[in-house]
Amino acid sequence: MNKNDLIESVAEEFELTKTYARDLVDRVFEKIMVAVNSGEEVALFGFGRFKVVERRARTGRNPQTGETVKIPARKVLKFEAAKALKESLNPKRRPRKKAA
């Protein structure tokens, strides 16, 4: 599913115009970006959390030349799925009954 598919799905489900649905989806993404850029953690119950993690500087290797390269420290966005989302992806199976 891409952004346009999401917009179409929201528009159909809630009987909205695509323009209005696009504005809603854009605003939700914008609010998440603003919060993350200011250092806040964004937690969506039942879905997961977005948070900024700082990676330290390290040395790497250029795969073409084999030369060592310094990789600077940087901030990256990390997503951690909620327990409910993880369980929906991997539903627990009932144990088999042992044959007598």
CATH number at residue 69: 4.10.520.10
In a domain, 98, yes or no: no
Q: Evaluate if residue 44 carries a pLDDT over 80.
A: yes
The pLDDT score that the predictor gives to residue 94 is 72
In a domain, 96, yes or no: no
Average pLDDT of every residue of the chain = 93
Q: Which residues contact 64 (CB under 8 A, 6 or more apart)?
A: none
Give the pTM.
Answer: 0.74
Q: Indicate the pLDDT class of residue 60, thresholds 50, 70 and 90.
A: very high
**What is the residue range of 25's domain?**
1-38
User: Does 11 share its domain with 33?
Assistant: yes
Count of domains forming the chain: 2
The whole-number average pLDDT for the span 5-34 is 96
